[in-house]
Each structure stands twice: as C-alpha cells, then as structure tokens.
A and B are shown apart, each in its own frame.
Chain A
Amino acid sequence: MTTPSANAVRHNPIAGAYLTTSRMVSVLMLLTLLLLATMLVAAKFGSVHISLVSAFADASSSDHAIFFAARLPRLIMAVIVGAVLAAVGAALQALVRNPLAEGGILGISGGGALGAIVALVFLSGIGASETTVVPLVAFGAALLSTVAVYRLAEVEGQLEPFTLLLVGVIFNAFWGAAIMVVNSVVNFYYAHTILFWLMGSLEAPTWHEVVLVAVLGFGGFVALMFYARDMNLLSLGDEAAAELGVDVDFLRRLIFVATSVMVGAVVSVSGIIAFVGLIVPHMLRITFGSDHRLLIPASLIGGAAFMVIADLIARVAIAPAEIPVGAITALFGGPFFVYMLRREGGKPLGL
C-alpha cells in the first residue's frame, strides 16, 4: 500500500471543494438515466419473448402474467441487490482504506451464506418458514462473522486495516470450506441448493423478499450516507480523522453493522454474488473521484445498472436454462478488474 494520506489529500480535499451540488446532481442524473435504460432493455428481453405493450394493455394476456409475476420482481430484485452490494463495497473500501475490500472478501457474504445454508438444511424439518428463518439466520451469521473478523484484526485496541483484510480473506476461505463440508453430508437436492448459494442467483424472488431486502438495504444506505463525510476524513488516517472530530471507533462499528445487515439480507435471497462491490465503486471512483458523498449514491445506482445487465445475460444466454448470475459477474468482473488495475499502473486506484 502507498501512504493513503498523500493520495487522499490530493484527490480528496477535506472540505470536498470539488464536489458541488450541481456536479453531484448531474452525475447522479446521468447514472439514473443509464439505470433506467438498462431496466427497459431487461424488461423487454428474457427466456420468453413478450410484448411490453400487451403486457400493459391486456391484463389477461400471458405477456402480462409473465411480466408482472416473473420478470418484474426479478428485475427489481436485481436493482436492489446490485445497489446494496456496490454501496457496501464503497463503504468498506473507505473503512479499510484498501481497494480490495468488499462483502465477499471480508468474509461477510461467506458467513451469511453458511448461515443460510445451515438454516435451510437443518431447520427446514421443524416447519419454520423459509422466507423468515433463512434471512434471519443469514443476517445473524453475517454479523457474527463481521464481529469476529473485526475483533481478530484489532491490535492493542487499534484496528489494523491490512490485518483486517487478511483475516477477512482467511474467514472467506474458511466459510467456503465449511459450506463444502455441509455439501458433502446432505442429499443431492440440497447440494444443488448450496450451489445456488455459492454461485449467486436471482431466480424467482417473492415480493416478500423484494420488500425485505429493499427495506434493510435502504436503511443501511441511509446510515452510510449520513456518515459519508466522516468516511472522507477516515481516508486521511485514524489519527487525523479523530483530530478532525470523527469518532473513529463508532464510525467503524456503524459501518460494520450496517454493511453486515445489508449483505446478510442480500445473501439470504440471492447467495454470494461476487465482484459487484469491488468493480462498481472502482469504476466510479476513477471516473468521478473519491468523495463518498457522491461515491456511495453513485455506487448504489451504478451497482443496480451493472446487476441488471448481468442478470439479463444470465437469463437469456442459454435460455430456457439459466446461468447463475454470480458466475456472470465474476466472469466479467475478474478480467475487468485486472484491466483497471493495470491501467492505473498497479497503484491502489485513487484511494
């Protein structure tokens, strides 16, 4: 890592002088238009050909049924999941002061996925409702995993960002291994379900799930936005931030809890969707700068657009069968990330 403060001062003056309201509005408007365009395309295309005109005009048509009962909930879920994952990635990168941070790499998604899988496999027999118990256990496990990573990365009461990232990577691998152990003791139906969680998928969400993830995701986003300015200061280093009046410990805890709840909610319905939280904030940081007051909402909208496109590919590429959307994001995300990194000469992308 290069010294973060040198970069931060250059890119990110404390007062945020570069960020005017009109710049913020125009960037967010532009991204919103992009999102709406991707949503329109994704609404039009799918495994079955439908006419959007008849979907809206004729309530008894199968176009209508397909659009409103199958395609729309999935499209909205893609928007929410992408938005949440990208916003979480942006916040975690600020917190850890490392461009590799995101829910997956810090072990949050893995913990949540293990929780969801264990709940599904071992609690389904007790008649508990899948749509309530599984998400709850997923949050719980995501939060526990985060707390454990956070505690283990503390050295003499100080959080060491680099250690945090290492501990996160270890946890990520450990949860993956634990999931594999569960996978080898269950029958083949659950083995398939576990694959669904590991690769991520947006198949057939219920409105109940859409609302659940939207509420938790938006709640977390509001909390992050409220402290966006403090996150800017955090990039100057803990001490400098504290001197400027930031309660660093509190801010860390807040970001961890908020991101755990957000990631837990997403994982419980869609499994682990990798790379979104990594790529989207980086792309936007390179393009629009690293002020978190703009970066976090921009990631929210940009992440949504990215996920809508990824899910569109997942749905149509080999229709009527489907590719797990996590495989699409990783296939496109991996090479793209390496390209961005090389383009920047291997430096920590503008952080």
Chain B
Amino acid sequence: MHQKSWVGAAVALLSVAGIFGCAHGAVAASRQRIVSLTPSVTEILFALGAGDEVVGVSQYSDFPPEATRLPRVGSFLTPNLEAIIALHPTLVIGIGLSSETRQIRALREMGCSILTIRDDSVAEIKESIREVGRKTDRADGARRLLEKLNVQISEVRSRVSKLPRVSVLMLVGHEPLIAVGPGTFLDDLLRLCNADNIADSLGQQWPKLSIEYIIAMKPQVILDGQMGSDPAAPARFWQKYPTIPAVQNRRVYGYSSDRVLHAGPRIGTSLEMLAALIHPETFPASTTARGETR
C-alpha cells in the first residue's frame, strides 16, 4: 500500500535524521550563511560588515534598513525551526535567553553551529562584539567598533563625573510598570551617566514596580520607554502623581524603546542620549540625541 511504504520509508530514515539540518561550517569556510535571532545581533553583524553573509533575521530586526529585506525566522523567543533550516545556516547567533528555547535546543541537537552571546552588561556587549568578530573573520572591524564605543563612553564619563548624582527611574513598560533593574546593560548605562537607578535595590533584572514604590522613591528623572510611541498616554499617566519630583519638575522624558533596548553597537549613542536627558546642563546642544527621543 502507498501509505505503508510511506511510513516504512519514514521509519527507515528516522535513524539518520538530525545530522543534516544545518550546513557545516567547513563546507563554506570563506562565506558563511548566518541567521541572527535578535535585533541586536543583526546590528552587530551589519556594523562589522558581515551583512552580506546574513541570510535570515529575527522578526523585529529593523536596523539597518538592509536587514528588513532579509527572510524572517520568527521572534526572539519563538524562532521558527523550519524557516531556519530552510536557510541552510552555517552559523546561528542568539543571545543568552533566546538560546534556551526548544527550537535552538533542537538545532543544537542537529549539530548546528550556534553562537550564544551575552548582553547583560556593557562589558558583555563588548565581549560579544569581539566574539562575533572572531567567528565571522572580522576581528579588525570589531576592534574599530569597540574603539569608537570606548571613545563615546569615556567622553560621557568625563563630562558627567563631576556632576551631582541624579536618581532615575527607567521604564520599559506600563502595564505592568516594568523597570530597568540591576544586571542589565541599561542599568550599566545609567551608572555611566552618574545616575542612581531607583530599581537597583530590587535585585531583579526587569522588576515589576508598584506606583507606590515609585512615589516613595522620589525619582528626579523618569525615562519612559512608552512615550516614544504615544506621547499623550504616559503624560496623562504621570500627571496623577504630582508629588514625584520628576513629574513636578517636568523631567519625565520619553525615549524610543525599540532603539535603546537593542544591546548592540549603538549603545554608545544610547548612552549619549541618556546622559543628555539626565544632565541637560552639560549637553545643551545635543539636539540630535534629543531629536531621537521625541
């Protein structure tokens, strides 16, 4: 019977399934086929000049514009296994969390080459850029990128180091109120801006805050990721709490979260932008940085 032979063939081939899902690196030593699982990895690859070796990107990879024309392989936490295999990748790059998904575990079991980078601090992001540079034969590009990043960081540090510390709340979401907590690169960036993150004592990377806690902590500046998309809603939201110094002094700023949250090569400019919002007295003419936030 037709069905029987089909099942028989399937069973016979099961034993060898799983070893050919990914093209092997050695086959294409000169030219890789890279799949990026997060927007930040996509940005790193393009910044290193490896963009022409990228064959697939995650759903929300929107920078640089060239990346948006590439095939999508699902989102950060739900990559699409079939779509990835279809691209014959020689290398799949994700960040820590995305690599824990069942899909990536399956790819790894198939013998796929998977690079997992980390991005929970500025130091980790730098190391990740170096690692991606090594893995894609672009160590020089990585070095140049890091030099530029270091210049941006030391520039900001030298300008803010003498200034009084400012207590800051940085939010990434409103319902619930999710803040930037310790152990994230954004917390690192705030520290580099000479700011005290009011969520630092909470011990969670992305703590959910109650509004009562925020009122009690009296942040001087609130950086609200949702204002980037809809300025009206958060403004209405904060009006209700006029005792918060940041609200009193009109120091609730929006930032465009999809851009700032990418832990890639643009964290230097994110740092400059945050510093300008937190210490406007030192960066009076930073119109470019400000312009991006509104």
Contacts and interface: CB of A to CB of B under 8 A. Distances in A.
Interface of A: 36, 40, 46-48, 50, 56, 59-60, 62, 64-66, 68-73, 130, 184, 187-189, 192, 203-207, 319-322
A285 B77 CA distance: 40
17 contacts: A40-B3, A62-B86, A65-B21, A68-B14, A69-B20, A70-B21, A71-B82, A72-B10, A188-B206, A189-B100, A203-B81, A205-B102, A205-B106, A206-B102, A206-B106, A207-B18, A320-B73
Contact of A320 (B9, B74, B100, B206): B74
B85 A320 contact: no
Contacts of A71: 82
Contacts of A319: 80
B82 A47 contact: yes
B83 to A, nearest CB: 5
Contact of B81 (A64, A70, A187, A188): A70
B77 A192 contact: yes
Contacts of B101: 204
Q: Main SS of the interface on chain A?
A: helix
A322 B17 contact: no
A159 B100 CA distance: 44
Contact of A204 (B59, B72, B75, B103): B103
A189 B73 CA distance: 19
Contacts of B31: none
B88 A68 contact: no
A70 B10 contact: no
B109 interface: yes
Contact of B97 (A50, A70, A189): A189
Interface of B: 3, 6, 9-10, 13-14, 16-18, 20-22, 59, 72-75, 77-78, 80-83, 85-88, 97, 100-103, 105-106, 109-110, 178, 204-206, 208
Contacts of A70: 21, 81-82, 85, 106
Contact of A187 (B14, B72, B75, B204): B204
B82 A48 contact: yes
B80 A321 contact: yes
B7 to A, nearest CB: 8
Contact of B78 (A62, A68, A69, A203): A203
B12 to A, nearest CB: 10
Given A205-B102, A320-B83, A68 B74 contact: no
Contact of B106 (A56, A130, A204): A204
Contacts of A48: 82-83, 85-86
B100 A204 contact: no
B80 A68 contact: no
Given A36-B3, A188-B206, A203-B103, A64 B80 contact: no
Nearest to A46: B82
